[in-house]
């Protein structure tokens, strides 16, 4: 295993962004009732939520997304940067985290802070992660696609097993404090998702503002935004000549990568680990991908608070 990782409660975390001090800081962090967390497994829409949340929370004011790098405007709870920027965060504060539910700080559990949990088809998560490992100098080389798939299924990647992460948050019983959405829904109908987020966060945004946020949170807009496209990061850490950070932003790219044998293995492992769960997830059981305007039987989770 690369020496560029630390082990934390059985999870591998890259030392470039994490330290034992930053993780201790996260555990002692004082969560406020008005805080909003976007929670994701890596490569499931985190950066998208860093663009969306400030715009929803401040009625479409573009200032933060045009003047503050995304990692400072909506910082990660577990990363080193939080301690440096936390005092500058406006209220209500927006944060992101890759933590499983059980690693959230004690103050989170006693607060009224809200959570938006974004799930993505695990096959697309793995493909995106594979390319990210190729361009990120602080992560170990992914090896072949087949080798990386085995690491992913075994949880020998940052933040562990995808299934463990999803199960931890799906079982959280946070009631009306948590809203579940999917990356696939965001791709298919972002305005509809934004309306749900607006309602969930009691923002009451007009259709005009929803339209404005949709425009500025498109794949093309974010890719062109210096504050969001990671072009400010030195090449030694993120070599976008190997793979662009904003690569495709589509649903179903896994079809271009998985062999039939790999697909059978991947689906078998994921389904076995989710056996007995009562929630449906994007693209795990149903291999049929919806056409435009069509809903798949198990490809989408209903947008809503619970």
Percent of the chain with pLDDT over 90: 59
Domain assignment of residue 9, yes or no: yes
Q: Find out whether 39 and 96 touch, Cβ atoms under 8 Å.
A: yes
Which secondary structure element, helix H or strand E, spans residue 162, and what is its range? helix 162-170
Distance CA 172, CA 1 (A): 31
- Find the mean pLDDT for residues 206-232: 76
Question: Long-range pairs for 271-280 at CB < 8 Å and ≥24 separation?
Answer: 273/161, 273/163, 274/163, 274/166, 274/167, 277/167, 277/170, 279/170
Confidence band for 128, pLDDT divided at 50, 70 and 90 = confident
Give the pLDDT confidence of 144-184 residue by residue, as tens digits: 999 999 999 999 999 999 999 999 999 998 999 999 999 99
| Cβ within 8 Å of residue 58, ≥6 positions away | 64, 90
Structure tokens at 58: 């401040």
Report the alpha-carbon distance of residue 73 to residue 58 in Å, rounded: 13
Q: Which domain holds residue 251?
A: 5-273
State residue 227's pLDDT score.
64
Least confident of 13-17, 223-227, 273-277: 223-227
pLDDT at 235 over 70: no
The domain that contains 217 carries what CATH number? 3.40.50.300
CA 85 to chain centre: 20
255 lies in some domain? yes
Question: What is the reported pLDDT for 65?
Answer: 80
CA Rg, the chain, in Å?
18
Residue 87 in any domain: the answer is yes
List 98, 133, 165, 216, catalytic entry: 98
Q: Answer whether the bond into residue 92 is a cis peptide, omega within 30°.
A: yes
Kindly tell me if the per-residue pLDDT of 232 is higher than 50.
no
Number of domains in the chain: 1
Strands 114-119 and 94-97: unpaired
Provide CB contacts within 8 A for 231, sequence distance 6+.
240
What is the sign, positive or negative, of the torsion defined by CA atoms of 44, 97, 161, 129? Answer: positive
So what's the pLDDT on residue 135?
Answer: 65
45, 53, 54, 201, 304 from 185: Cα distances, Å? 11, 16, 20, 18, 11
Domain assignment present for residue 132? The answer is yes
Q: Determine, yes or no, domain membership for 234.
A: yes
Residue with structure tokens 């995106």? Answer: 128
How many Cβ atoms from other residues are within 10 Å of residue 163's Cβ? 21
- State the pTM of this model: 0.86
What residue has token string 């948590």? 178
**297 noted as active-site residue:** no
Q: Are 205 and 194 in contact (CB under 8 A)?
A: yes
Q: Do the domain assignments include residue 187?
A: yes
Does residue 53 form part of some domain?
yes
CB 186 within 8 A of CB 217: no
Split at pLDDT 50, 70, 90, the class of 282 is low
* Average pLDDT over every residue of 191-204: 96
Average pLDDT, the chain: 83
56 in any annotated domain: yes
Structure tokens at 239: 């070599």
- What's the CA gap between 246 and 45, in Å, rounded? 11
Number of Cβ within 10 Å of residue 279's Cβ equals: 12
């Amino acid at each position: 295993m690369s020496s560029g990782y630390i082990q934390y409660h059985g999870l591998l975390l890259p030392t470039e962004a994490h330290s034992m001090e930053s993780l201790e800081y996260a555990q002692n962090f004082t969560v406020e009732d008005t805080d909003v967390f976007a929670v994701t497994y890596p490569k499931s829409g985190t950066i998208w939520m860093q663009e969306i949340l400030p715009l929803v929370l401040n009625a479409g004011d573009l200032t933060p997304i045009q003047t503050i790098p995304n990692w400072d405007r909506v910082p990660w709870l577990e990363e080193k940067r939080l301690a440096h920027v936390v005092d500058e965060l406006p209220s209500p504060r927006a944060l992101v985290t890759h933590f499983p539910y059980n690693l959230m700080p004690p103050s989170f559990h006693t607060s009224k802070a809200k959570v938006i949990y974004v799930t993505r088809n695990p096959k697309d998560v793995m493909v995106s992660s594979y390319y990210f490992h190729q361009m990120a100098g602080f992560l170990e080389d992914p090896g072949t696609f087949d080798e990386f798939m085995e690491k992913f299924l075994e949880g020998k990647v940052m933040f562990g097993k995808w299934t463990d992460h999803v199960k931890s948050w799906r079982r959280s019983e946070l009631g009306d404090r948590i809203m579940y959405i999917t990356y696939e829904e965001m791709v298919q109908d972002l305005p509809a998702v934004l309306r749900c987020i607006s309602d969930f966060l009691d923002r009451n945004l007009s259709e005009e503002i929803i339209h404005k946020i949709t425009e500025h949170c498109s794949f093309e807009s974010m890719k062109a935004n210096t504050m969001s496209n990671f072009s400010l990061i030195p090449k030694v850490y993120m070599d976008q000549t190997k793979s662009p950070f904003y690569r495709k932003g589509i649903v179903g790219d896994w079809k271009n990568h998985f062999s039939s044998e790999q697909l059978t293995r991947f689906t078998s492992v994921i389904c076995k680990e989710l056996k007995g769960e009562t929630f449906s997830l994007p693209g795990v059981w149903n291999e049929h991908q919806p056409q435009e305007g069509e809903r798949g039987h198990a490809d989408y989770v209903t947008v809503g608070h619970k």
